[in-house]
Amino acid sequence: MTITIGVLALQGDVREHRTALESAGARTVGVRRPEELAQVDGLVLPGGESTTIDKLLRIFELDEPLRARIAEGLPVYGSCAGMILLADRILGGTADQRTIGGLDVTVRRNAFGRQVDSFETDLAVAGLPGDERPVHAVFIRAPWVEDVGPGVEVLARIPDASTPGIPHAAAGRIVAVQQGPLLATSFHPEISGDARVHERFVQIAKG
């Protein structure tokens, strides 16, 4: 069964996400309008700047239709800024920042620091095809999850701070979660060449 996964095409690594999803067997479309959102079987919210994406969702009149579809059970995957948009609660956001919500987590925005604090590491991520192999994870001004609700499954945490390149404060922080059809990662799998996170999301969208 071929399904159609939309990638929110307002900002971020749209092309890279579409490439990864297509390698996982999905058909993809860019989503900028409510009528495009209405046609997809799942949606990816890419990285970028979460406050800017929030404003663009309102300008393009996608915020309320997206909330409605999530409430109806639309599978959604959010990476980096997309994780922030899916979170029910934000720490470190701007005064007027809103989220789409649906994911019962508290996310700290820019938790790992500024652009210059970006880093890469290998992570064990539960539930992926070949999950005995780590995922090479790229963190760019990334959030982390401070707490999760009872229905949220934690899929990955940052390794011990003794690992080279890992910020001390990041050790043990939650960086990948799933709640029903909602999946989120702090990192950017679309730029690592490892499509297994996207493969998992395609399977979620197939139900």
The sign of the CA dihedral 191, 199, 181, 39 is positive
How far apart CA 101 and CA 70 sit, in angstroms, is 9
What is the average per-residue pLDDT within 179-202? 94
In this model, does residue 131 exceed pLDDT 90?
no
Pick the catalytic residue from 16, 17, 188, 199. Answer: 188
Query: Which residue, 65, 64, 99, 96, is CA-closest to 81?
Result: 99
> What pTM value is reported for the model?
0.93
Report pLDDT for 116. Answer: 44
In this model, does residue 10 exceed pLDDT 90?
yes
Q: What's the pLDDT tens digit per position in 21-32?
A: 999 999 999 999
**Which homologous superfamily does the CATH classification assign to the domain defined by 4-206?**
Class I glutamine amidotransferase (GATase) domain (3.40.50.880)
Pick the catalytic residue from 16, 17, 80, 199. Answer: 80
Task: Let me know if 188 is a catalytic residue.
Answer: yes
Pick the catalytic residue from 17, 36, 72, 190. Answer: 190
Q: Which residues of 6-28 are buried (b: 16+ CB within 10 A; e: fewer)?
A: bbbbbebbbebbbbbbeebbbeb
- Residue 178's contacts (CB-CB under 8 Å, 6 or more residues apart) are 127, 152, 153, 155, 184, 204
Task: Let me know if 168 is a catalytic residue.
Answer: no
- Binned at pLDDT 50, 70 and 90, residue 195 comes out as very high
Q: What's the pLDDT tens digit per position in 153-181?
A: 999 998 875 565 666 677 789 999 999 99
What the block records as the tokens of 16 is: 């890279």
